[in-house]
Amino acid sequence: MAHDVVERVEQFGPKLAELAAGNEKLGRLSDETVGLLRTAGVLRLLQPTKFGGYAAHPRDFAEAVMAVARHDGAAGWVCGVVGVHPWEAAQMDPRVAQEVWGENPETWIASPYMPNGIAEPVDGGYVLSGRWPFSSGTDHADWVFLGALVGDGKGRPVSPPKVLHVILPRSSYEIIEDSWDVIGLCGTGSKDVVVDGAFIPSYRTVDQDEVSGGEAAVSNGVGEALYRLPFTSMFPLGITSAVIGICEGALALHLEQQRERVAVTGVQVRDDPYVLYAAGEAAAEIAASRVQLIDGISRVHDRVAAGETVTIEERSDIRRNQVRCAWRAVSALDEIFARSGGNVIRRGNPLQRYWRDAHVGLAHMIHVPGVAYHANSLAQMGVDLPPQLRVML
């Protein structure tokens, strides 16, 4: 059962927390952390049952990612990013799933989807070249999803642009080892990957627009509601879940540290109404973020399962709320971090790592509020959205 995954995560929680500082120094997840995640089954939650997965409700996936991130933000982030890739692979030509999981259901797929490469059409497929930053968890993955612009045969993208998602085996790309030197989420190992003229057969590609609207699953005979959800609802889900989980972990640690702390005034913090007010308000804000995020993905899942169409306005509402969930949770974390005392800035205090990880997570492009809020306001007015505002809807 999918809920057993969360129970196993909680069982492993103290060990995940113990390993977190080492992952940060290592610049990627340790083999021991990855072993715990594999045993828990977090990254198989959205994987098809035929290939050893759970094909779970996306709500269960979000809750599992949050559970991991409460103990180690970097591990939660990798679960949220890498964990959504089985969902997309399941929508593609059936040969893809067989190649990826046929011999090993524990195989991980990395990304990113940013269209940083040019895919030149050739007989039977494409030839791809480019460089992509931010490939989270890539050291432990044997395949990678990449975004690519279809080329015009001369090294330039066609006009208007056409974006593909392509999937490549580990032998077709290079990981750049010294490309991840950052201030937060250090343990994610989100290094650059480079592709230099790799051939990609057509069946390992999918049009981004078809994934965005759920058409890819239908055209490949995949009927489950899970695999017909909009990409722009599912992909942000894992990332925002990780940020919320990080904030939940920070709140728990803050309260633990404040229980016996005595302020410079000689007053025990647990007797300071101002600090406790801030902690209570932060707890409410972080809890609201969790509820709203899960409510959004549950609503869209129910619509798709009922055979109904998810409108642009509804997709825009989900994106607006998803962005706000992340900002609300991190803003709440800021309030308690500022009241945690001087020792919070010491590198040996895990709370400062939670704070850095949360802010780096907030910097991901899916958390940029401007376009999401702009598009949502127009959609609520019934105004047709221009192409540039539909990109992440």
pLDDT tens for residues 258-294? 888 877 677 787 878 888 999 999 999 999 999 999 9
Asked if residues 224 and 304 have their Cβ atoms less than 8 Å apart, the reply is no
Give the chain's length: 393
Asked if residues 69 and 246 have their Cβ atoms less than 8 Å apart, the reply is yes
Which of the 8 DSSP states describes residue 159? S
Asked if residues 282 and 250 have their Cβ atoms less than 8 Å apart, the reply is no
pLDDT for the residue 212? 86
In order of their start, the domains of the chain are 2-101 (1.10.540.10), 109-207 (2.40.110.10), 229-390 (1.20.140.10)
The Cα 17–Cα 72 span in angstroms is 6
Q: Helices 231-258 and 312-337, interaxial angle, to 10°?
A: 20
Asked if residues 170 and 141 have their Cβ atoms less than 8 Å apart, the reply is yes
Q: What's the angle, vertex CA 325, arms to CA 324 and CA 328, rounded to 5?
A: 80
Tens-digit pLDDT string for the chain (393 aa): 677 999 999 999 999 999 999 999 999 999 999 999 999 999 999 999 999 999 999 999 999 999 999 999 999 999 999 999 999 999 999 999 999 999 999 999 999 999 999 999 999 999 999 999 999 999 999 999 999 999 999 889 999 999 999 999 999 999 999 999 999 999 999 999 999 999 999 999 999 999 988 889 888 989 899 999 999 999 999 999 999 999 999 999 999 998 888 776 777 878 788 889 999 999 999 999 999 999 999 999 999 999 999 999 999 999 999 999 999 999 999 999 999 998 999 999 999 999 999 999 999 999 999 999 999 999 999 999 998 888 888
Q: Phi/psi class of residue 160: alpha, beta or left (left: φ > 0; alpha: ψ in -120 to 50)?
A: beta
Reading the block at residue 238, the tokens are 């894992």
pLDDT for the residue 264? 66
What does residue 183 show for φ and ψ, rounded to 5 degrees? -100, -10
The Cα 197–Cα 128 span in angstroms is 5
| 165, β-bridge pairs | 147, 206
**What torsion do the CA atoms of 51, 138, 78, 352 make, to the nearest 10 degrees?**
160
Asked if residues 40 and 78 have their Cβ atoms less than 8 Å apart, the reply is no
Half-sphere exposure of 237 (CA within 13 A, CB side): 31
User: In this predicted model, what pLDDT tens digit does every residue of 46-76 receive, in sequence order?
Assistant: 999 999 999 999 999 999 999 999 999 999 9
Q: Is the pTM of this model over 0.75?
A: yes
Reading the block at residue 63, the tokens are 């809750």
Sign of the dihedral through C-alpha 228, 229, 231, 236: negative
